[in-house]
Amino acid sequence: MYERFQPSERVFVDREEYLEWMAEALERCKERSVVLHLRGIGGIGKSSLLDYWKSTIDETIRLDCEQYTDFYARLNVIAKGAVLVGVNLQRFDVLWQIRQRFVEGVEPVKEKGRERAKEVVMAIPFIGSLASIGSAIGAIGATVSPKLKGRFGNLGEWLQTRLGKDYVQRLLEILWKEPRHAEFLYLDALLEDLNNRKTSEKPIVLLFDHSEHVDNERCRWHYGGREITETELWYVFLSSLSNCVGVIASRQAMPSQTDEELEIEESELTELDRESCIEILDQRQVTDRELQERIVSVSGGNPFVIGALCDVAESGSFSLKEVEDLRADTLEAVRLKTWRRLFTQAQDLLRLVEKAGLVPFFNRRVLTFIAPDMRTDHWDRLIQLSFVRSRGDGTWVLHDLARELIIAELGQRLQDSTNEVAELLERASADESDYALLGLALSVRALAAERDAAAKLGSIVSDLIWRNNFSDALTLLDATRIDTKEAYMVIQGLRGGVLTHMARVADGEHAFRESLETIQEFGESVPDELMVHRARTLHFFGLLLRVTGRSSEAEGSFQESLEVYRSLDENTLGFRPQDMAMTLQALGYFLMSVHRHQEGEEAFREAHQLHEESASTASYDPMIGITLSLRSISMTLLFTGRATESEEIQRNALEIYRKHAGQRLDDVSFLRHLCFSLGTLADTLRMMNRLYEAINLYQETIQVARELAKKEPEALSFILPFMLDGSALPLRQTGRYSEAEEAYLEAVNDFTELAEKTPDIFSRFLAAALLDFAVLLRQIGRVSEAEEKCREALRIHRELAAKAPGQHDYQLPWNLNNLAVLLRKTGRTAEAEETYQEALHTARDISQEAPEAIFLIEPVATILNNLAVLFRQTGRTLEAEEAILEALEIRRQLAQKSPELFLHRVATSLNNLGILLAESGRTSEAEEALGEALQLRRALVEKPSGLYQPYVGSTLNNLAVLLKRSGRTLESENAYREAIEIGEELVSKAPTVYPHELMRTLRNYALLLSDSDSTDALRKVMTRLEKLGIKSLPESEEWSEEEEEEAFPPGAV
C-alpha cells in the first residue's frame, strides 16, 4: 500500500505531455544538454509545473529570477543549489569568495561545503581599502599565487589557460576594471565545476522561473562574434552543461535573436483540459459534479481562476448561479469578477490581502507593521490562499495577477491606500532603524506616484552618502522594487554613487553606464523630473572618474551635471539646491587639485549660496553644507594669499559648529565636520606663524579625532594622524621637541598602516609626515635618521608624481629642498647643489601652472634663498647675489598680497642679502638690507605670539659684525649686547632650542672684546661660553645665515 502513497506536494494534474517531456529529456541530456523555453500567460501554471519538478526530481536547482534581480545573486543561488545536490565547486567557490572579499569586503562564507577557500581569500584585501588598486595588484598576486598552486592547483591551471601566466593579477584587474569579463569568467567557472562533478552520471535539472524579469534588451556581453543579453547568456550557459536539463519559464516568447545552434526547444503552456480541472476540484474538496462543470466552463481551464474559485468555495457556500454570474467575455474580466466575489465572502481578509498586495514581498513582521490588527488565524489563512506563494527565504509574495487585481480594484483609493501603508512602513523603519522597510515603503508609494517615490529615493540615498551611511544606502536600494525603465535608470545611478563612495569602482562604473544609457533610450524629449536624476548620476560619475585618474572626463561630467541642474526650474520634482551645491563642491575640489583656484573659489561660493537656500530634512542638515562650503572658500583664500579673510570665514564656520555642539556630541557626522573645521583653522594659524594659538586648536582637534576613532574605528580612524602631524610642527617650532617627536611617531605609524592597506590614498600623507619628522630629527642632531626619512619621503613623492603628473608634483620641490639643506649642513656641497637645482627647476615649472597660487610660487623663492647661501659659502658671489635678489623680489610681491604669511620671509632674504653684500665690501648696502630686516623683525615681534624674537637676535648679530668691521665699535657692542640679552631670555625658556645662536653671538662679541681693553667684560663672556661648552674662539666672526626647511607643505593635505 505505502508505495502508492503520494505526499500532497507531489500531487499534480494534467500536463502529462510535460511530465513525459521531462522524463525523455532526462535521458536525452546524457548525449547533449536539453533546454526548454516554457512560455505562457500569467496564472497558467508555469510556476506550479516547476514546483512539481523541484519536488519530484532529487537533483534539481530552482532560481526565481523575480526574487533575485542581480546577475551575481542569481549565480550564487545556482551555486548554492549545486552544493546541495553534491557538486564540489572547486573553481567557482574560491573565485566567488575572492570576489566577495576583494570587491564587497565580505569575509569567507560559512555555508556547509563552501568553507575551503579561506586561506586564499584572507590574503586578499578589500578593494574599498585600495581605491585605485593598480599599485597593489602585483603584490597581492605574489602572495596569493603560491596558495593557488598548492592546495588549489587545478584552479590555478584552469585560470592560467584563460588569463595567462599572471592569472591572479589579471583576475583582480578584471574584477576591478572589467565587470562584464568577470561575470563571464565566473559563469564559466560554475559551468566547469558542474560539468566535472563526480556524480556526472546523474542528470541535474535547472529551473528558471519568472525569467521575463531577466534583461533581454541590453546587450552587455560579447560572445561568438556578437553582443548578447543576459537572457541569451543563460541560454548559452544551460546549453553548455553536461547531462543537464534546463527549463526557462517566462510570460514572453523566446527572443528572436537566440542562436539557432543552441537548439533551444520552445513550448507554450495552455489551459487545463476538462479532466484536469475536475481533478483539481476534487483535490480542493469541491466535489459537486454540476458545480465542477460550471466552474470548468466559467474558468476556461485557467489554473489561477480555478484556484481562486476554490478559495471562494472554501470560505462559504457557493451556488451554481453564483458561479454563472462570474462568466464574462474575457479571461481578465472573469478574474476580476472572481476576485470581487472571493472578498465579498471573506471580508475579514480583504484589507489584509490588499495591504499584502501593495508590498513587493512580505513576512509576518512586515504585515504586523502595516496591519496591526492582524490575528494569527488571519495570517494562517492568508498564506494558504492559492495566489500566495512562499519565496523560500521566509518571505511570501502574491501572484502577479493577484497584485494587478488588487491595484485595479483599489482604483481611486490607490493613492490613499499606498500613502497609508507607506507611512506605516516609514514609521517602522525609523523606529527600528531598518532601511529595508523604507525600501518597501518607497516601492508601495511608486504604485500610485512612481516619480514622487523616485525623487524621494534619490534624496534619501544622496543624504545617506553625505553622512557616510553606505551600507544603509545599499540596503535601501536592494529593498526598493519599482519595475520600470525609469526606476531602473534612477536606482542604477544611485547604486553607482554608493559603490563609488565604497571604492567599488568597477561595479560603480557599470551601474553608471547602465543608468546613463537607459536615459538615452528615452530620446531627446526627456521630462525634467528624470533630468534631475541624470544630473545626480553625472555628479557621482564625475567623482568616480576623478578617483580613477580620468581628470578631463571628470571635469566634463561635473560640468554636464551642472548644465542640467541650471536648465531645471527650482520647482522641478526632485530638484534640491543642496544636490547642485554638492556638484559644485566636487567641481571646486577638482579645480583646486589642478591649481585653478579662482575657478574653484567661484564654485565654492555658488555652492555656499545654494546650501543657504536648502531646507532642513530628517536626513539633511543645511548647517553642515553651509559650514563645509565656508571651509572650502577659506582654503581657496588661503592658497591665494588672503589669509586674514580665510581666518575670518573659518572662525565663522567654527562658531556655527560650537553653537550646536552641546546637542550633537553623539552625532558622528557632526563631530567629523567639527574636527575638520578645527583642523583647518589650526593649519591656517600655523601657516600664519601664530603657533601657540595653533597648538591649542590642534589639541582640541586631536581630542575630537580620538573620539571619532573610538566611535567608527574602520571609517574614521584616518583623521587622527592628520591632526597629529599638523600639531607636531608648531610644537617643534616652539621648542617642545619631545612632544613633537611623540606626535610625529604616532602619525607616521598610523600613516604607515594606512598606506600599506590603501597606498594610492595614504602614501602621499605618509611622505608628508616623514618629511616633517626629518626636519625635527636633523634639528636635534639625529642626522642619519633624518636623511633616511627624507629620502623615503622623496621616493614616495617621485612615485606619486610619475603616476599622476600635475597632482602631486608640488610636493617634490619641498622635499628636494629639505634634503639639500641637510646635505649642505653635513658637508656634501656638490650633492646639495645638484639637489637644489632639481628642486628649483621643478618649482619653476609648477609655479607657471597657477600664478595665483602663492604656495606654488613661494618654493621658488625658498630654494633660491638657500641656493644663495651655498653659492656664497663656495665663493660664487655673483651667482649668490643673482639668486638672493630674485628670491627677495618674489617675496616682496607675495608679501604685498599676504603680509601675514610672507613678511617674515622677506626679512629672511634681506638678512642673507646683507651678509652677501657685507662680504662683497658693499657696506652701506649691507647695512641698509640688515636694517630693513631688523625693522621688519622688530615689528613682527610686537605680534602676540612673539615668535620672531630669535630672528631679531640673528639680525642684530649680523649687524654687529658689520658695524665692527666698519670700525663702529660702540654701535657694534650695543648690537651684540641686545642680541645676547635676547639669546639668554630664549635659552632660559627653551634651553635645548636656542643655545647655538646664543653661542655664536657670544663668540663674536668675545672677539670684539679681545681687540679692546675690556678685560672684565671678556672674562664674563668666556665664563658664560665655558658653561655652554665652548672653550675656544674662532678666528673670525660668524654670520647668522638662514636656510629654510619647509615642513608640512601648504596644501599637502
3-state secondary structure labels for all residues of 442-496: HHHHHHHCHHHHHHHHHHHHHHHHHCCCHHHHHHHHHHCCCCCHHHHHHHHHHHH
- The alpha helices in 57-152, defined as continuous H runs, are 71-84, 92-104, 118-121, 134-150
- Are residues 219 and 83 part of one domain? yes
- In a domain, residue 980? The reply is no
Beta-carbon contacts of 1042 under 8 Å, excluding residues fewer than 6 positions away, are 865, 869, 908, 911, 912, 951, 954
pLDDT digits (tens, 9 = 90+) for 871-886: 999 999 999 999 999 9
Q: C-alpha angle with apex 441: 440 to 446, nearest 5 degrees?
A: 95
Backbone phi, psi, residue 844, to 5°: -60, -45
- What pLDDT, on the 0 to 100 scale, is given for residue 817? 93
Beta-carbon contacts of 609 under 8 Å, excluding residues fewer than 6 positions away, are none
Inform me whether the pLDDT recorded for 733 exceeds 70. yes
Inform me whether the pLDDT recorded for 485 exceeds 60. yes
Please give the torsion angle defined by the CA atoms of residues 998, 1003, 1007 and 1009, in that order, rounded to the nearest 10 degrees: 50
pLDDT digits (tens, 9 = 90+) for 604-663: 999 999 998 888 877 778 888 888 899 899 989 888 888 889 889 999 888 888 887 666
Dist. CA 846–CA 854, nearest whole Å: 11
- In a domain, residue 695? The reply is no
- Are residues 165 and 307 part of one domain? no
The three-state secondary structure class of 992 is coil
Dist. CA 807–CA 642, nearest whole Å: 23
Dist. CA 679–CA 665, nearest whole Å: 17
- Are residues 400 and 320 part of one domain? no
pLDDT digits (tens, 9 = 90+) for 940-995: 887 655 566 788 899 999 999 999 999 899 999 999 999 999 888 888 877 777 78
- In a domain, residue 1041? The reply is no
**CATH number for the domain including 17?**
3.40.50.300
Average pLDDT over residues 230-253: 90
Q: Which domain, by its residues, includes 79?
A: 1-87+201-268
- What pLDDT, on the 0 to 100 scale, is given for residue 326? 83
- What pLDDT, on the 0 to 100 scale, is given for residue 331? 79
Comparison of pLDDT for 595 and 696, the residue scoring more:
696
- In a domain, residue 825? The reply is no
**Listed residues 268, 298, 313: the one ending a domain:** 268
Dist. CA 65–CA 341, nearest whole Å: 32
Contact 726, 682 (CB under 8 A): yes
Average pLDDT over residues 440-463: 94
Average pLDDT over residues 899-909: 90
Quote the number of domains for the chain: 4
Using alpha carbons, select from 559, 539, 555, 568 the residue that is nearest to residue 462. 539
Contact 62, 209 (CB under 8 A): yes
pLDDT band at residue 1050, thresholds of 50, 70 and 90?
very low
Highest mean pLDDT out of 32-46, 189-203, 341-355, 435-449: 435-449
- What pLDDT, on the 0 to 100 scale, is given for residue 7? 41
- What pLDDT, on the 0 to 100 scale, is given for residue 6? 40
Q: Whole-number mean pLDDT of the chain?
A: 85
The three-state secondary structure class of 59 is coil
Using alpha carbons, select from 825, 778, 774 the residue that is nearest to residue 797. 774
pLDDT band at residue 407, thresholds of 50, 70 and 90?
confident
Dist. CA 44–CA 50, nearest whole Å: 12
Average pLDDT over residues 297-312: 85
**Listed residues 268, 294, 321: the one ending a domain:** 268
- In a domain, residue 517? The reply is no
Residues facing 268 on adjacent strands: 39
Average pLDDT over residues 1037-1046: 87
pLDDT band at residue 816, thresholds of 50, 70 and 90?
very high
- Are residues 13 and 42 part of one domain? yes
Alpha-carbon dihedral sign for residues 961, 967, 968, 973: positive
- What pLDDT, on the 0 to 100 scale, is given for residue 132? 43
Contact 510, 474 (CB under 8 A): no
- Are residues 191 and 95 part of one domain? yes
Residues comprising the chain, all counted: 1053
Q: Where do we find the cell 641686545?
A: 978
- Are residues 312 and 240 part of one domain? no
- Are residues 182 and 107 part of one domain? yes
Inform me whether the pLDDT recorded for 151 exceeds 70. no
- What pLDDT, on the 0 to 100 scale, is given for residue 1053? 32
DSSP notation for 246-281: EEEEESSPPPTTS-GGG--EEEE--PPPHHHHHHHH
- Are residues 418 and 336 part of one domain? no
Contact 902, 916 (CB under 8 A): no
- What pLDDT, on the 0 to 100 scale, is given for residue 424? 95
Dist. CA 399–CA 43, nearest whole Å: 8
Dist. CA 474–CA 434, nearest whole Å: 12
- Are residues 253 and 115 part of one domain? no
**Listed residues 178, 196, 214: the one ending a domain:** 196
Alpha-carbon dihedral sign for residues 995, 996, 1002, 1005: negative
- What pLDDT, on the 0 to 100 scale, is given for residue 4? 37
Dist. CA 352–CA 649, nearest whole Å: 57
pLDDT band at residue 841, thresholds of 50, 70 and 90?
very high
Contact 752, 795 (CB under 8 A): no
- Are residues 164 and 72 part of one domain? no
Beta-strand relationship, 396-398 and 388-390: antiparallel
Lowest mean per-residue pLDDT among 129-133, 242-246, 521-525, 821-825 = 129-133
Inform me whether the pLDDT recorded for 224 exceeds 50. yes
- Are residues 47 and 1 part of one domain? yes
- Are residues 246 and 226 part of one domain? yes
Using alpha carbons, select from 541, 536, 636 the residue that is nearest to residue 580. 536
Q: Where do we find the cell 472554501?
A: 314
Dist. CA 902–CA 469, nearest whole Å: 43
- What pLDDT, on the 0 to 100 scale, is given for residue 143? 62
- In a domain, residue 460? The reply is no
Dist. CA 1026–CA 566, nearest whole Å: 75
Beta-carbon contacts of 174 under 8 Å, excluding residues fewer than 6 positions away, are 163, 181, 182, 185
- In a domain, residue 568? The reply is no
- In a domain, residue 100? The reply is yes
- What pLDDT, on the 0 to 100 scale, is given for residue 467? 79
